[in-house]
Structures are given as structure tokens and as C-alpha cells.
Amino acid sequence: MASKVLNVFYKDDDILMEAVKKVQSKNYRIEEVFCPFPVHGLDKLLKVKHTRLAITSFLYGLVGISVALTMMNYIMIIDWPQNIGGKPSFSLIENLPSFIPTAFEMTVFFAAHLMVITFYMRSKLWPFKKAENPDPRTTDDHFLMQVSVGNNDIQEVAEFLNTTGAVEIDLKK
């Protein structure tokens, strides 16, 4: 049987932050918090793990620069070498200074585009996906904290949450 969850609404981000501290001090489990805008410090309070997207961005940048250098080596040195401005194309190393702008652009291109794709896949934001927002007010002016009741009495948990400054409490549907 699934655990029951209470939806607790707040009107102010400062009240929400204090409520999170109080709920955690009572050892109730906070399932999720929905906010209309980013709340500074909330991720630290909820002990959200740091993202590894920066590591993937670096790896995608390495892929981009590898593709760029391989492409330029094949096109400008192997397949169609040209003497441009008195600079013969005998090796990649000799012509590397002229290849740097293109290599940089390809690095940024690969990192940016693959990061967007990775972010959407990791967030499960597929095209035409129905929104998973539990209440439309959380995109406007309300903050929603979902608290798991667990083995506790629902009435007892709701009474405690009322003392935290909640404007509305209801059982998750």
C-alpha cells in the first residue's frame, strides 16, 4: 500500500523555509517541494544531491573538439590539401593555430546541444508529455510541500503542519 501524502500550501518563501526546518526536526519525510520561482537555500535544506551535468558537459566538449580536429585533419590535410597564403598543409600540428577557432566553436556546439538533450532526457521532458504539476497554483503564487504521513496519524501530522504557517492542507489525490 502506498504511503499517504499531505499537500501543504504556503504563500511566502520565508515561511516555507521555516516550515521545512520544523518538518525535518519532527522527522517527517518531505517528498517534494514545488515553487513558482527558485528559492535560494532550499536545495541545501532538502539535501538535494549535486548534479553531474557539469561532468557530462566537459565530456561532450571533449567529443566536440575530437570531432573538430578529426574533421579538419581529414578535410584540410588528407582529402583536399591546399597551399593557402604560402602555408602548405602537411600536418595538423603545423596548421593548428588556424584550426583553433573552428575547434573552439565545435566544442561549444557539441557541449551545448548535447547538454540540452541530456537535460531533457534526465528530466523526462519528452515532447507532448503531460505536466506533472500537482496544483496549478504552484506556477503562480503558492508554494507546495508534499509531506509523507508514513505510520503517523494523519490528523496529528495535519495539526502540526498547521502550526508551520500553512494556508491550506489536503490529502494528495
Domain chopping of the chain, boundaries: 5-36+141-171, 53-122
In this prediction, residue 53 carries a pLDDT of 87
In this prediction, residue 99 carries a pLDDT of 87
In this prediction, residue 2 carries a pLDDT of 57
User: Would the pTM of this model clear 0.85, i.e. be above it?
Assistant: no
In this prediction, residue 1 carries a pLDDT of 41
| CA dihedral of 114, 50, 136, 139, whole degrees rounded to 10 | -80
pLDDT tens, residue by residue, 11-48: 999 999 999 999 999 999 999 999 999 999 999 999 99
Task: Give CATH for domain 5-36+141-171.
Answer: 3.30.70.260
State yes or no: pLDDT of 172 exceeds 80. no
Cross-strand partners of 145: 8, 33
89 neighbors 82 (Cβ within 8 angstroms):
yes
SS3 content of the chain, % helix, strand, coil (to 5): 50, 15, 35
Cross-strand partners of 169: 8
Mean confidence (pLDDT) of the chain: 89
